[in-house]
Amino acid sequence: MPIVLAGIAVVVLLFLVRGYSLADSKALLRQLRFSAGLTLAFLCISLLATRRIDFAIAAGIASAILLAGSGAEWRRLYRGATSAGPSRANRSAPPRHAGMSRREAYKILALEEGATEAAIRAAHRRLMMQNHPDKGGSTYLAAKINEAKDVLLK
């Protein structure tokens, strides 16, 4: 049983190593902390399987301490994102291009020319509910929708 658990730990470590070469130094430290925490968690399980309770408790406490400090890695693992790309919080909206025409703004909001202010606001709200970056939408689309509303309400 301990050999199987050790094999699983090695496979998990090999899986985690893939992002190390692409990470900056701060991210690399977080990933190493996360990997060490997982390794100690597997060690704790294998020690429990061999009934070495005292060592298992020590490994479990050390694992909990390491994993508590690597919360971002848990979120990335849960979402299935890789550590190579920038996180959503670090991405900024693309720069706006001056000169969106009223016709383009109506197309973006899916409205007919001459729509009322209430219709513009309702269309903006509906589209933002679907495309907001906090809901998994694109920052580019959200910026374009906001720009279209601004062009039509000015």
The CATH fold assigned to 102-153 is Helix Hairpins (1.10.287)
Average pLDDT over residues 113-139: 89
What's the average model confidence in pLDDT over 26-55? 78
Q: What's CA 75's distance to the chain center, in Å?
A: 7
Q: Which residues in the chain are classed under CATH 1.10.287.110?
A: 102-153
Q: Is residue 30 pLDDT above 90, yes or no?
A: no
Please report the DSSP string for 47-106 in residue order: HHHTT-HHHHHHHHHHHHHHHHT-HHHHHHHHHT--SSSPPGGG--PPPPPS---HHHHH
Distance separating alpha carbons of residues 23 and 26, to the nearest angstrom: 8
pLDDT value at position 98?
A: 59
Whether pTM > 0.95 for this model: the answer is no
pLDDT in tens, 94-107: 555 557 889 999 99
pLDDT tens per residue across span 76-93: 555 554 444 444 444 555
* Predicted pLDDT of residue 16: 64
Q: What pLDDT is stored for residue 7 in this prediction?
A: 82
d(CA 107, CA 101): 10
